[in-house]
Structure 1
Amino acid sequence: MATSAPGEKFVAEKDVPRSPEAHDVEHGHSEQKSLARNLQGRHMQMIAIGGSIGAGLFVGSGSSLQSGGPASLVIGFIVIGIMLLCTVQALGELAVLYPINGAFYQYGVRFIDPAWGFAMGWQYAIGWLLTLPYHNQLLVSSIHPREATHEYNIAIWIVVFLTTLIIVQFFGVRGYGEVEFVLGVIKVVAVLGFIIFGIIVDCGGIPGDDRGYIGFRYWNDSANGNVAFRNGFKGFCSVFVNAAFAFGGTELVGLAAAEAADPRKSLPKATKQVFWRIAGFYVVSLLIMGLIVPNSSPDLLNSSGANTKASPFVLAIVYAGVKGLPSVFNAVITISVMSVANSCTYGSTRTMQALAQGGMGPKWLAWIDKKGRPVWPVVIQMAFGLLAFINEAETGSTVFNWLLALTGLSSFFVWGSICLSHIRFRHAWKAAGRSVDDLPFKSQLGVIGSYVGCFLVVICLMGTFYISLFPIGGSPNAEAFFESYIAAPIVIALFLFWKTWTRDWSFGVKLRDVDLDAGRRDFDDLPPTEPEQRNNSIGRRLSSALF
């Protein structure tokens, strides 16, 4: 395959097969050829809409309702939702132009600083590695609560779920996509059903519910401890981390771009779906839930752990007196957690493989088999899944809390890095004399959206720092602080490690040195694909018949 001068497109030889949807510009082709591009448009859209709806929404939102109140809950999720919307729009623009493996860390390396990209990549991979055993334990608890079973039964279920994940990985990225599509549809239907159910309950339409019309009663019932804002500003700040955990995984749509069959068509559609997911599936459902669940309920106190009985969505059904339906929604939560566990495996394995391929990890992690599966990263992820057994020990919950603390702020750093990468990309693109009109997909919020996203990330980190240093109902405590904020020093440590390892103490990539062509795919100068040729042929025959 011959290459031309830097910045020019290579000329593909006749005997070299190429992707039907795009050119790879210059030396970017080698970064993509090992991965199987089997994700279809429907997979990408469902990953964007319902891919990460899970324990964060269905269970973790209960602790936010109890600590912050229903108004803080909704406003907090709106703030994180706006931040995520800005992030996904920026990510969509970058990922359509550069659908490269390990998108998040690669963009950080290219547009910000190699050490920052290294830190973002490994903290993202570690975050997913440690999130899997949590969801594994949550799956087991949703089926067999600790008090209702023996420990050996719990162990059996952990093995069953890990085996299921291994089987999914056997089918490669197509298996991940199909599982996410099916489970995503179930989750979306369940959330829509809950919204309808909640409206009926709030209007007093359930015969067995003696509360009658509820309206906004629990927003202004201070006599019973139900208020719109609980614990003042601290309560509001307490929502941010839980909201970030609930939204975490939405960025996987950008990571999946490297394995999408047609990223130019599927990725823009998927990113546009994120708005409806934020508005409908999160904000509206939480608004309805906050209307029909009293925020002073003691049942919400245990909603931050692996306890689906404390799910505010399940409690809303229980309080309405509808029998049988709580079990159905518990099943939905189980399915949702299984879906997120599947996403954990995908996110960590692809990131580890990409880091190794880019020279920022052990070389053996970069190996991909003939079917496009990163075998060794999958083995590592499954091994980390065995950490779910720790929770069966007497001190297991303490160990689990510290493991999860390592992932607490992960999403904030990743989202901020994506927005900053987009800002730097736009500046580099302009400095190179290129027009924004040449981009195959432009962020609907533009570079202003990325500035807003970065600003909101900083605000949320400050709010989280405040609530970590001065917890609700307590005095400053070093253990509580590091349990909430330990992810920040880990990012700094990873950054300094790579600086030390490479002995490169400069900071930032200069705009004139930014590589705008590696991994870039051009969509304009290709002959039509076979389906397009067939459709064009059918169109011409139909036109000739009609006219």
Structure 2
Amino acid sequence: MSEVNMEQEKAPAYDRKDVDDIPQHDVEAGETKDAPLQRHLQSRHMQMIAIGGAIGAGLFVSTGESLNTGGPGALLICYLIVGVMLLQTMWALGELAVMYPVNGAYFNYALRFLDPSWAFAMGWDYAINWLVILPFEITAAGITIQYWRQDLNIGIWIAVFLSVLSVIQIFGVRGYGEVEFILSIIKVTALVGWIILAIVIDCGGAPVGGYIGGRYWHNPGAFTDFRGFCSVFTTAAFAFGGTEMSGLAAAESANPAKSLPKACRQVFWRIMIFYVLGTLMVGLIVPHNAPYLLKASGSNTSYSPFVVSIQNAGISGLPSVMNAVITISVISVANSATFGSTRTIQAMAAEGMAPKFFSYIDKAGRPIWCVLLQIAFGFLAFINEASTGSQIFTWLLALSGISNFFVWGTICLVHIRFRAAWKHNGRSTDELAYVAPWGIYGSYLGLSLNILCLVAEFYVSVAPKNAEAFFENYLAAPIVILLYVGWKTYSESTSNPTVEKRGWKLWRSLEEIDVFSGIRDTALDVDLEPRVKYDSWVDWLKALPMTLLRSII
């Protein structure tokens, strides 16, 4: 019963006799037809990228906005729904990335298993998402410094953090990996400490406030209204954004078949501990009608519920420590933003879907022109110096608002199409080095939840019956449609022989899908962990406690 395999026995080497005539690329050695990648990311890097790489202002600050608009009940339920959705997405991505550890993962998977036009739309949607998030995170880092020094212009700190980020890029993927490893350890340690402290505060162990318990769930209440509930989905997606980065990093991992499954398993604990348990504690010790939550949005970290809750408890010193952690977190996400956009744009340029010069990678494995483009977008953070800066920033962030739902839904759909094509070619899941625990059923669940979140956010966007409010919330959707239709139209009208013409077909047929090019080298499987195959759901459930325990080691 392969669809319930949390672990399977060691996968046999592929039967390559029918693949030998297909041009292959040694992806495990870091060579693709477009990019001489440097495989410097070790297992420890991949695991910390998966656990803490994306924890930033989305969790620490925007959680306050979600609490205010939806209430603690909505906060917990919506983060749990998005967490389940993302867990299925990561399992599907893990299976794909282990099988095909290629540069520009999501873009290349959509190109291979779905449709070039959708790949073009998703690639640029993902790249734009990170291009505009970088100035937001740098601004957030500057505002955290104003917690201590309000007399200094934020432009000073924007320049400092942008310079630090530029220096990190000099060291290529090794610099990205080491910075994420160190900063993620700090973030994870601080979050665990805050959760323990929040439990103490809730139980009445703080100098001020006394016993709280579940008081705030009753007064002012667990929920606000249905529109407030639905609005939390977008904030949750922003908070979870970047979790998929470990899949993108597979192309620069020393051994993705060994490190990626571990990283995917770590995502479960990150979701349950940091997001679900973390938001539960926020809702317990902070009332959703607290006035300062109205200011806990965008990059205004001074009103983070993680910081203010400690202040309200009468604990001195720790608010500054927590604010410092938020500073570290947003720098970490800014670092991830640079990695995410540059690798995606480079992969698109290699396929002729971005200006060709962006495909260049230097001898150190750096997509140098893509890095310069991302740093140039970082200068948009100085817009905050203008009187209309906040409004401009609102529209910039609107470009990324719901883009994560499109990307995550695409990953799930790609996995479904991959499994169908793999079976169509007479292949079995027993040949896969890593199998998504819930198989295509998990991907169908993930895809359905992504669609549900898009519908919920559409309802939130049209409810005010205001065109400006709609586009501020839902701008990413028409942008994706425009990109998709634009490439379809261009590909059908161009005389360029390198551009694939497919008409207006929705996706590739199973006969068109190539499941063999760029396939991973099974020769490296000698040191993979042995796996157990379960014959039924009953056997899998019996072994589940031990499996979960093993996943955190």
- Same fold? TM cut 0.5: yes
* Percent identical residues: 57
2:216 maps to 218
- Structure 1 position 184 matched with structure 2 position 177: no
Q: Look up the equivalent residue of 1:111 and give its one-letter code.
A: F
1:245 and 1:527 mapped to 2: Cα distance?
36
1:377 maps to 370
- Structure 1 position 286 matched with structure 2 position 279: yes
1:23 and 1:148 mapped to 2: Cα distance?
50
* SS, match of residue 342 in structure 2: helix
2:386 and 2:148 mapped to 1: Cα distance?
12
- Structure 1 position 485 matched with structure 2 position 474: yes
1:52 and 1:307 mapped to 2: Cα distance?
18
1:23 and 1:6 mapped to 2: Cα distance?
22
User: How many residues are aligned here?
Assistant: 502
Q: Look up the equivalent residue of 2:510 and give its one-letter code.
A: L
Instruction: Map 1:453-468 onto structure 2 (within 5 A).
Output: 453-468=446-461
Would you say the 8 A contact 2:295–2:303 is kept in 1?
yes
Q: Look up the equivalent residue of 2:508 and give its one-letter code.
A: V
1:528 and 1:96 mapped to 2: Cα distance?
15
Would you say the 8 A contact 1:168–1:176 is kept in 2?
yes
Instruction: Map 1:383-422 onto structure 2 (within 5 A).
Output: 383-422=376-415
Q: Look up the equivalent residue of 2:118 and give its one-letter code.
A: W
1:449 maps to 442
1:46 maps to 48
2:221 maps to 227
* Structure 1 position 5, deviation (Å): 7.5
TM-score for both structures, normalised by structure 2: 0.88
Cα deviation, 1:12-53, whole Å, max 9, x if unaligned, reads 9xxxx978xx479xxxx5337600000000000000000000
Cα deviation, 1:359-405, whole Å, max 9, x if unaligned, reads 21111000000010000000000000000011111111000000000
Instruction: Map 1:121-200 onto structure 2 (within 5 A).
Output: 121-144=123-146, 148-150=150-152, 153-200=153-200
Change in 2 beyond 3 A, CA 1:527/1:125: closer
1:324 maps to 317
Counterpart among 500, 506, 513 of residue 489 in structure 2: 500
* Structure 1 position 8, deviation (Å): 2.6
* Structure 1 position 149, deviation (Å): 2.7
2:65 and 2:156 mapped to 1: Cα distance?
29
Cα deviation, 1:449-495, whole Å, max 9, x if unaligned, reads 0000010011000000001111xxxx311100111001000000100
Instruction: Map 1:284-363 onto structure 2 (within 5 A).
Output: 284-363=277-356
2:526 and 2:191 mapped to 1: Cα distance?
40
Would you say the 8 A contact 1:59–1:304 is kept in 2?
yes
Cα deviation, 1:112-157, whole Å, max 9, x if unaligned, reads 111001100011001100000011111111102699235xx32222
TM-score for both structures, normalised by structure 1: 0.89
2:81 and 2:259 mapped to 1: Cα distance?
27
1:302 and 1:171 mapped to 2: Cα distance?
37
* SS, match of residue 265 in structure 2: helix
Would you say the 8 A contact 1:31–1:519 is kept in 2?
no
Where does structure 2 lack aligned partners over 5 or more consecutive residues? 1-15, 493-500, 528-553
1:34 maps to 36
1:97 maps to 99
RMSD: 1.9
Cα deviation, 1:46-80, whole Å, max 9, x if unaligned, reads 00000000101000000100110001000000000
Larger mean Cα displacement after TM superposition, 378-387 or 141-150: 141-150
Change in 2 beyond 3 A, CA 1:367/1:77: same
Would you say the 8 A contact 1:23–1:523 is kept in 2?
no
Change in 2 beyond 3 A, CA 1:412/1:163: same
2:233 and 2:114 mapped to 1: Cα distance?
26
Cα deviation, 1:406-456, whole Å, max 9, x if unaligned, reads 000110000000000000000011111111111111001111000000100
Would you say the 8 A contact 1:129–1:344 is kept in 2?
yes
2:71 maps to 69
Would you say the 8 A contact 2:399–2:475 is kept in 1?
yes
2:251 and 2:449 mapped to 1: Cα distance?
28
* SS, match of residue 32 in structure 2: helix
2:181 and 2:29 mapped to 1: Cα distance?
28
* SS, match of residue 511 in structure 2: helix
Would you say the 8 A contact 2:22–2:517 is kept in 1?
no
Cα deviation, 1:495-518, whole Å, max 9, x if unaligned, reads 011111110423211101101111
Q: Look up the equivalent residue of 1:480 and give its one-letter code.
A: A
* Structure 1 position 522, deviation (Å): 2.4
1:509 maps to 508
Would you say the 8 A contact 1:53–1:187 is kept in 2?
yes
2:549 maps to none
Would you say the 8 A contact 2:40–2:254 is kept in 1?
yes
1:30 and 1:287 mapped to 2: Cα distance?
45
Where does structure 1 lack aligned partners over 5 or more consecutive residues? 530-547
Would you say the 8 A contact 2:26–2:32 is kept in 1?
no
Q: Look up the equivalent residue of 2:212 and give its one-letter code.
A: I
* Structure 1 position 282, deviation (Å): 0.7
* SS, match of residue 382 in structure 1: helix
1:384 and 1:165 mapped to 2: Cα distance?
12
- Structure 1 position 80 matched with structure 2 position 79: no
1:109 and 1:289 mapped to 2: Cα distance?
41
